[in-house]
């Protein structure tokens, strides 16, 4: 499957919101993405395309030498094809190029599929954020990886 990565633009927001709503119980708003793209100098967002269609995206903040994944999502019909892995590897490479030496993210404690992917990429458990997700008060597992 041929995929293409490129920086997210404001013109991508309709497609990103489709992915967001299909992926999360508390999807980010258009305004949240707009603010990330326009006002957050630490934010880097990438979209993933297949045959000209947005099928996934990922965002991160890079502050000094640390990258923090803000969100990552792939359309449900494109999951299980290693596209999430490709997207995360792209972000890890980008973070390294931007000077990050570590990367972190939060994942629902119940999301074993995502945790398995992150472990495959070298992420290790770093702690728990209690009641992190406001929709159901689920805890978040904090994971870290060294990029060097």
Question: Is the model's pLDDT at 22 over the cut of 90?
Answer: yes
Q: Are 106 and 129 in contact (CB under 8 A)?
A: yes
Q: Which domains are seen in the chain, by residue range?
A: 3-146 (3.40.630.30)
Active-site residue, from 42, 66, 106, 112: 106
Position 1 pLDDT exceeds 90: no
pLDDT tens per residue, range 48-70: 999 999 999 999 999 999 999 99
- Given this model, what pLDDT does residue 116 score? 96
Angle at which helix 30-39 crosses helix 13-23, to 10 degrees, equals 130
Q: What is the pLDDT confidence band of residue 135, given thresholds at 50, 70 and 90?
A: confident
In tens, the pLDDT along 109-133 reads 999 999 999 999 999 999 999 988 8
Active-site residue identified among 118, 132, 133, 138: 118
Contacts of 147 (CB under 8 A, 6+ apart): 67, 92, 95, 96, 100, 101, 102, 103
For residue 106, indicate whether it is catalytic.
yes
Q: Look up 118 and say whether it is catalytic.
A: yes
Indicate if the pLDDT at residue 79 is higher than 90. yes
The mean pLDDT of 94-119, rounded to a whole number, is 96
């Amino acid at each position: 499957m041929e995929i293409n990565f490129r920086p997210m633009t404001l013109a991508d927001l309709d497609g990103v919101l489709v992915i967001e709503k299909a992926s999360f119980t508390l999807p980010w708003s258009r305004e949240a993405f707009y603010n990330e793209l326009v006002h957050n100098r630490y934010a880097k967002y990438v979209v993933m395309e297949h045959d000209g269609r947005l099928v996934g995206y990922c965002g991160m903040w890079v502050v000094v030498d640390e990258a923090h994944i803000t969100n990552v999502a792939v359309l449900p019909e494109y999951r299980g094809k290693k596209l999430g892995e490709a997207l995360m590897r792209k972000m890890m490479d980008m973070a390294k190029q931007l000077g990050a030496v570590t990367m972190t993210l939060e994942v629902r404690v119940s999301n074993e599929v995502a945790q398995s992917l992150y472990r495959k990429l070298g992420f290790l458990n770093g702690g728990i954020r209690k009641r992190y997700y406001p929709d159901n008060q689920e805890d978040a597992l904090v994971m870290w990886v060294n990029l060097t």
